[in-house]
Structure 1
Amino acid sequence: MELFYMIVFGSLAAIVAALELSKSSKDRINTSSVFNAFKNNYLLVYSLMMAGDWLQGPYVYYLYSTYGFGKGEIGQLFIAGFGSSMLFGTIVGSLADKQGRKRACVTYCITYILSCITKHSPQYKVLMLGRILGGISTSLLFSAFESWLVAEHNKRGFDQQWLSVTFSKAIFLGNGLIAIVSGLSGNLLVDTLGLGPVAPFDAAACTLAIGMAIIMSSWTENYGDPSENKDLLTQFKGATIAIAADEKIALLGAIQSLFEGSMYTFVFLWTPALSPNDEEIPHGFIFATFMLSSMLGSSFASRLLARSSPRVENYLQIVFLISAASLMLPFITNFLGLPSGHKGGSISVSGLLQLIGFCTFEACVGIFWPSIMKMRSQYIPEEARSTIMNFFRIPLNIFVCVVLYNVKAFPIAIMFGMCSIFLFVASLLQRRLMVISESQKPSKCSSCVGISFNDYLN
């Protein structure tokens, strides 16, 4: 079975390398040297930010367990993180639009560094505070940086299509290569050097501090709506009405919540799905394989985004259908009654089939991220970009909290089947979004959104 893991990893690595090396002029977008300098600066910062996040991920649960906490208490800590993101995410998003996106990015660094520091304490209340700070940080990571990028890109007058280059590269590096390197670095610190499970959090804090220094020294400030006479409540009202007034924005939010909700559920459930009887599986190697699959998807997405056809709205329908089929595998293998492994043994035949499906799903994740970023840059009004993006995360965080709270109430196969249904619904909503976008001219749509949003605020 060890040979199987190596074959899967090696095959994926070869495909990624082949895709990158075989890109033709049709698969690339010609850009200027000024833009390349801007893009590379952002990619460096984004990679450091993602490294700070990825270094922590594999060791959060393990650290809590070494402090003597049980599954119930650890589950409460995780719920606190997602609940914090849900409660405070929209507030910090609105503040980012009003007070400045660069300032919000610096705030992300500070709050996440403080969250890392709390990991040194075995006290439950201190760790709970760290989870709350981590939830706020997550909201900023997935809204403020993208909002700053889009606004700064437009302010500098770069071609709109060039955004696709930055998006695809950011996912290729941040959610692929950096994730793999961070996982290996964490393993080096904890296992090889024997520095303990808190060492990756210290490394993350240092990485975030370096990124913050680059932001403060090289980024300029930009705003959504800095008007002094518009308080947070007015911002919330304007963002809510903008979502309700434009079906495309509402559909985009629903699609994002359905896909990301399924993705986070997958993150929690892939380990017990592959080892239902405590089979011996190489968690770190499998994680690296998933990240390589994500790199494959983002590499493929860069080719799609470089061309005018097919449009993002079209091909994402297929991506969601493939994702739905991939996460249906645990349900199918359970229904067919395929043989499972035994405690301490190697992965079963059922697990091998699911692993292939999970790698396929991760490839779809790699395509999804730069594609949804591209659509958000087109459809979400600039005045409240961070606010609206965090509005989208409210149903996502509610969904994840419910899953965490009831993770023992339903069989794993049923949970994956539910995610598959959500992804199928996302495909249907994506088709609706495609129909609407094709029936309206982009320029007319953009103008209408901007006017209606400002009208509602004034």
Structure 2
Amino acid sequence: MELFFYTVFGGLAAVVAVMELSKNNKDRINTSSAFNSFKNNYLLVYSLMMAGDWLQGPYVYYLYSTYGYGKGDIGQLFIAGFGSSMLFGTIVGSLADKQGRKRACVTYCITYILSCITKHSPQYKVLMLGRILGGIATSLLFSAFESWLVAEHFKRGFDQQWLSLTFSKAIFLGNGLVAILSGLFGNVLVDTLALGPVAPFDAASCFLAIGMAIILSSWTENFGDPSENKDLLTQFRGAAVAIASDEKIALLGAIQSLFEGSMYTFVFLWTPALSPNDEEIPHGFIFATFMLASMLGSSLASRLMSRSSLRVESYMQIVFAVSSAALMLPILTTFLVVPSGVKGGSISFSGCIQLLGFCAFESCVGIFWPSIMKMRSQYIPEEARSTIMNFFRIPLNIFVCVVLYNVDAFPITVMFGMCSIFLLVACILQRRLMVISDKPKTEDWQMKDRDAESEPLNI
């Protein structure tokens, strides 16, 4: 079965290479040298930030277990991280809009470095503090950097279409290539060099410090609404009113929460799904395969978004439908494939089918990130961008906390079925978003037609 893993990985790598090398002028966007310099600076910083995040991911659970904590205690630590992101995320998002996005990005680096330092202590309270700091940092990572980029992009007068190029490249590098390299580098530190499970967290701190130095030396500050001196409560109220009064923003938030909630649930479920009888599977290699599939998706997204005639709101319906079908595979294989009762061994035939489906889902994830970023840049008002984006994460974090707390209470097929239904609902909401985003154009044409009919003919 090792050949199967290598075949899937090699096949994905070949497709990604062909897609990137075969891009023609239709797939590329002609940009200026000033924009390319700006884009490359952001991509370097974003890649360093993601390296700091990806280096930690595979070793958090392992580190806690080496300190002697059981599944229940570790689960509480993970819930603390998501709960912290939910409780403090909106506050730090509002502060980013009010005090400056550059300062928020620097705060992310400092907060995450402090979180990494806490990993040196086996004390539960110190580790809990580290998870709380990590939750705050995560909120900043997924709001402040994008908010700074969008504001700075338009402040410098760059074309709106060029923004999609930065988004797709950021996901291709930060959520694809950097994730793979971080996994390999972490493996070298822990296994090859035998530096222990804390080593990846120290390496993450170094990457975050380098990124912070680049931000301090080369980024300029921008704000959400510098013309008005609003307090946090006023900002919260303004963001809530914006979501409640604009159906497009509300739909975008619901779509994001449904997809990301399913995605984070998938992160917890793919291991037991592929090894229900304790089959021996190469977790690190499968993780790298998933990241390669995500790179494939982001490469496809860059092609789709480079075509001005193709709207994001349109093709994302297909993406959500495909992702829903992909997460239905664990349920279908339960009924169509005879389960194996043999403990251990290599991955089963059912597991092979599911792995292919999971790769399809990860490809959808790769398309989702740059596409949702582009839609957010279009629909979310600039003056409260970080605040609104963190409002979107509140239902997401509640959902993930509930899943973590009840992960053993439901069969794995029920969990996957729930995620598949959520993605189907996201598809329906995406259809609604496309319809109402077309309304202003349709109404304008109708008004023009009525005006033309009412005008007297000059003969």
TM class, shorter-length: over 0.9
For 1:131 and 1:391, how far apart are their aligned partners in 2? 20
Which one-letter code corresponds to 1:278 in the other structure? D
Give CA deviations for 1:296-329 in whole Å, capped at 9, x if unaligned.
0000000000001321000000000000000011
2:396 equivalent in structure 1: 396
1:187 equivalent in structure 2: 187
SS of aligned partner of 1:315: helix
Give CA deviations for 1:177-227 in whole Å, capped at 9, x if unaligned.
000000000000000000000000000000000000000000000000235
1:64 equivalent in structure 2: 64
Q: CA deviation at 1:439?
A: 1.2
1:218 equivalent in structure 2: 218
1:450 equivalent in structure 2: none
Give CA deviations for 1:96-143 in whole Å, capped at 9, x if unaligned.
000000000000000000000000000000000000000000000000
**Which consecutive aligned stretches of 4+ in structure 1 deviate over 4 angstroms post-superposition?**
none
2:166 equivalent in structure 1: 166
TM-score by length of 1: 0.96
1:264 equivalent in structure 2: 264
Q: In the alignment, is the contact (CA less than 8 A) between 1:341 and 1:347 conserved in 2?
A: no
Which one-letter code corresponds to 1:420 in the other structure? S
| Distance change (3 Å), C-alpha of 1:341 and 1:39 | farther
Give CA deviations for 1:208-263 in whole Å, capped at 9, x if unaligned.
00000000000000000235631000000000000011000000000000000000
For 2:54 and 2:340, how far apart are their aligned partners in 1? 31
Q: CA deviation at 1:438?
A: 1.0
For 2:334 and 2:147, how far apart are their aligned partners in 1? 43
Q: Pairwise mapping of residues 127-146 of structure 1 onto structure 2 (< 5 A)?
A: 127-146=127-146
Q: In the alignment, is the contact (CA less than 8 A) between 1:55 and 1:183 conserved in 2?
A: yes
TM-score by length of 2: 0.95
For 2:229 and 2:368, how far apart are their aligned partners in 1? 38
Which one-letter code corresponds to 1:429 in the other structure? L
* 1:76 matches 2:51: no
2:448 equivalent in structure 1: none
1:363 equivalent in structure 2: 363
Q: Pairwise mapping of residues 27-42 of structure 1 onto structure 2 (< 5 A)?
A: 27-42=27-42
Q: Which consecutive residues of structure 2, in runs of 5 or more, have no partner in the other structure?
A: 445-459
Give CA deviations for 1:269-311 in whole Å, capped at 9, x if unaligned.
1001100111100000000000000000000000000001321
SS of aligned partner of 2:160: coil
Q: CA deviation at 1:333?
A: 1.1
For 1:343 and 1:382, how far apart are their aligned partners in 2? 55
1:196 equivalent in structure 2: 196
Which one-letter code corresponds to 1:423 in the other structure? L
Q: Which consecutive residues of structure 1, in runs of 5 or more, have no partner in the other structure?
A: 445-458
Give CA deviations for 1:55-94 in whole Å, capped at 9, x if unaligned.
0000000000000000000000000000000000000000
Q: In the alignment, is the contact (CA less than 8 A) between 1:297 and 1:365 conserved in 2?
A: yes
* 1:88 matches 2:88: yes
Q: In the alignment, is the contact (CA less than 8 A) between 1:224 and 1:384 conserved in 2?
A: yes
Q: Pairwise mapping of residues 12-27 of structure 1 onto structure 2 (< 5 A)?
A: 12-27=12-27
Give CA deviations for 1:310-368 in whole Å, capped at 9, x if unaligned.
21000000000000000011111123353236322100111111000000000000000
Which stretch of the first structure deviates more once superposed, 225-234 or 206-215?
225-234
SS of aligned partner of 2:309: coil
1:286 equivalent in structure 2: 286
* 1:320 matches 2:320: yes
2:237 equivalent in structure 1: 237
CA RMSD across the alignment: 1.2
Q: In the alignment, is the contact (CA less than 8 A) between 1:49 and 1:208 conserved in 2?
A: yes
Which one-letter code corresponds to 2:54 in the other structure? W
- Higher Rg of the two aligned structures: 2
SS of aligned partner of 1:26: coil
Q: Pairwise mapping of residues 416-455 of structure 1 onto structure 2 (< 5 A)?
A: 416-441=416-441
* 1:344 matches 2:344: yes
For 1:14 and 1:201, how far apart are their aligned partners in 2? 32
For 1:227 and 1:186, how far apart are their aligned partners in 2? 46
Which one-letter code corresponds to 2:273 in the other structure? A
Matched residues, number: 444
For 1:36 and 1:317, how far apart are their aligned partners in 2? 31
For 2:214 and 2:89, how far apart are their aligned partners in 1? 24
2:454 equivalent in structure 1: none
